[in-house]
Structure 1
């Protein structure tokens, strides 16, 4: 075996293998790199004291590695991987064969560790929770041992205090521009000297937060994958201000990273503006729905698309408003937050599908130079349109949940932007907007040729032009503002514009289809006159 000392003179261990550890290893990274080379080439087992000395020396040198790497992130990653590999190899040397069970713990300046081994004659149903000051782990080591031929297994658990200097939180690559903060110590969990390392069930890690918890931040349980932190196979089970529990389906090196917005939080004025605008929009959405449902429309007018656009957007805006008002109560309930995110995704998508359906109906109307005939209404019945309007959105959301269920439930109970999953929402929206644009161009071309047709009725053409104008306006006001969603993070002015345009969608629908509609205005006038005269019989008539 090898004895490690901090003197210049080499020492000889009981196994007869010599390793010289110089005093300069405390001050130069090159000496520590030589030590790492020696550890990597070791084939013999070191005694406990030598393992702890090596661990302490290697891990206390992380600051030297950081200085030597300077701005070279690749060098930092390489050094981090070597330190991890050496640490895990050293700790594996502490695993001892046992018939029952064995437990070894150690605490150093730079690392805490615990090794638990079980043998074929173990009498435990489960091993105790492995614990350090900053992290805990629950693992089914008994079940793992039963899957091995010699019915034995061992787990090595380490909690590093300086490893985050090498494996930085910035190595967690996300598509959105956020500030990443390491909220836990870096931990390592391995199964040394265990032939079959297949887990029988997910492993739960409990992290104690090492920094102040930001309730507006987004937590991610991550593991180190050679060159970056990734979330594959890991998820947050629950969290509070001091602890977070993660579940992972594999063992590796883990950490807890929080993402916070790089832009300043919205001002109180912006919050107030959002509340007022959304409430006004909801009231006018409701008035538009009442008008569509109660007023008498000319024969041939098909309002099914507009009614369902209002229902979808009214429900989505109302749900989003309530969620943000009670976010502090909803956010800790992760399942509820995920359900709300999925429902919002469905409602907004269905509104865009209905917008596309209305464009199709308008195209048919223009092509036939009239409102859709009764025969056409039989072919495009309300039931058929509803099936398309809601089933398409339901399928998109269902597929999204099936593929990446953990992508729902951001800090605002919406879709997480990591891994590009936001495109499950913006993708269909962009496709629908593009299809609508193509339809509207075709409609304009058709109307232009119709104007040259001397046999066409002027009233029909005029009516169709009005409908086309209103629908194009609807497309611009309801659809195009969502494009601003790509740029709102960079400017508070764009946030305000996006907020006003999207919150006032109900206002626009009410104005364009109710207030500016001569028939509806006349019915409003008659109803108001009846109410003022008190002649309820005449009003009912």
Structure 2
């Protein structure tokens, strides 16, 4: 603040940790003829960019928008004549890595969106940018970059893989529900695993496809991220339950279809499968309700809230990996004791293949997610394996299941017979 007896001879600079402002407060004070005084308030908001997101900057071209600075605000309190004598210069430190190919825009907040009217870039380098504005308001620095060809290819691959995975999740579910299974087979874990991951992948796919419409609806975005948290966590819990049931089966290969329902009832499994995820999400939401609703409508990574998802996932992946190793060891010991009959060996090889494929079904490849940063090859492998859990479930439990294949053959024979004769009697004669 300056008064009528000010002795300053140059424009003062106000600094915060990540920004500064140069304003002609002396000239503004002289324009206030009655008081010959003026005051400026300069504020920097540490996490405001999470609320006033760069996607509120509407542009005609389809670009990736990134907030490059903290949000700042400058006002002239207790000043009658607030007309600026000179443009105000803001120096904004970059809070994210600078992309030389990107386009920087100095923007200010206007009711519900970021706009550039009256602001321009004076100077920029890899560390900071100087913005010049002819008015005071709330300001920020936004960078626009075009999606790279590799990113577009990865997005297309992700879309195709997820759709294929959803198809096989649906086929597996139909098979589990419609086929007649022997009393000793308990498919409750597989059915609920398919349901959880089918809904999770479908909701995630739809959210990403309509992200530009969903993101401005903050409440909807928060709800979606919470539901995704629950669905993915319940999917991982069902992976663990499936690992336990598989371990019980492999303990004695000759009784691979042992009655699992006597060990763990379906009702008890359902309570575990969904209540664990529900409790984790409920506690997380109670502790930090603002942890949901990132720019991708997922869990926010700041303040460690992402560990409300990664923590349980790490524990389950570690347990599933241990159980998978135990399954391999037990299976290997069993194979050594089997007679080398052709039929026996054929069944054994199929069982070995099924067990190895369980590596994907049990979610073990999700471990790759911790190593995909800056590695496109691992990211592609991670994407393919984890989007195809439904494919492996269908392959192991449906396509390679003799009982299911026989029912499929019956169904197609009946279908062909019905099409040829257009009568049910043909079906009865055949079967």
1:59 — aligned with what? 13
1:200 — aligned with what? none
Q: Is contact 1:366–1:447 with CA below 8 Å preserved after alignment?
A: yes
Q: Higher relative contact order by CA 8 Å / sep ≥ 6: 1 or 2?
A: 2
Gaps of 5+ in 1: 1-44, 63-75, 95-101, 118-129, 135-159, 174-178, 187-204, 213-244, 246-253
2:381 — aligned with what? 497
C-alpha distance in 2 between matches for 1:434 and 1:377: 26
Structure with higher Rg: it is 1
Q: 2:265 aligns with which of 359, 381, 405?
A: 381
Measured after TM superposition, the shift of residue 208 of structure 1 is: 7.3
Q: 2:207 aligns with which of 323, 327, 331?
A: 323
Q: Is contact 2:247–2:327 with CA below 8 Å preserved after alignment?
A: yes
Inter-CA distance 344–465: structure 2 relative to 1 (3 Å threshold): farther
Aligned Cα RMSD in Å?
4.8
Measured after TM superposition, the shift of residue 132 of structure 1 is: 8.0
Measured after TM superposition, the shift of residue 323 of structure 1 is: 1.2
Higher mean alpha-carbon deviation, 271-280 vs 486-495, is at 486-495
TM-score (norm 1): 0.54
Is 1:303 the counterpart of 2:187? The answer is: yes
Q: Please give the per-residue CA displacement for 1:308-331, whole angstroms capped at 9, x wherever unaligned.
A: 111111111111111122112111
1:282 — aligned with what? 166
Is 1:47 the counterpart of 2:9? The answer is: no
Measured after TM superposition, the shift of residue 449 of structure 1 is: 4.6
2:77 — aligned with what? 115
C-alpha distance in 1 between matches for 2:401 and 2:209: 36
Is 1:353 the counterpart of 2:237? The answer is: yes
Measured after TM superposition, the shift of residue 263 of structure 1 is: 8.2
Inter-CA distance 255–385: structure 2 relative to 1 (3 Å threshold): farther
Inter-CA distance 309–411: structure 2 relative to 1 (3 Å threshold): same
Could you say what secondary structure the match of 1:57 adopts? coil
Mapping of residues 338-349 of structure 1, within 5 Å = 338-349=222-233
Higher mean alpha-carbon deviation, 288-297 vs 408-417, is at 408-417
Inter-CA distance 468–258: structure 2 relative to 1 (3 Å threshold): farther
Number of aligned residue pairs = 358
Q: Is contact 1:364–1:372 with CA below 8 Å preserved after alignment?
A: no
Q: Is contact 2:105–2:141 with CA below 8 Å preserved after alignment?
A: yes
Q: Is contact 1:481–1:501 with CA below 8 Å preserved after alignment?
A: yes
Is 1:401 the counterpart of 2:357? The answer is: no
Inter-CA distance 211–473: structure 2 relative to 1 (3 Å threshold): farther
Inter-CA distance 478–50: structure 2 relative to 1 (3 Å threshold): farther
TM-score (norm 2): 0.66
1:312 — aligned with what? 196
Gaps of 5+ in 2: 30-34, 42-72, 118-136
Q: Please give the per-residue CA displacement for 1:208-259, whole angstroms capped at 9, x wherever unaligned.
A: 74759xxxxxxxxxxxxxxxxxxxxxxxxxxxxxxxx9xxxxxxxx975769
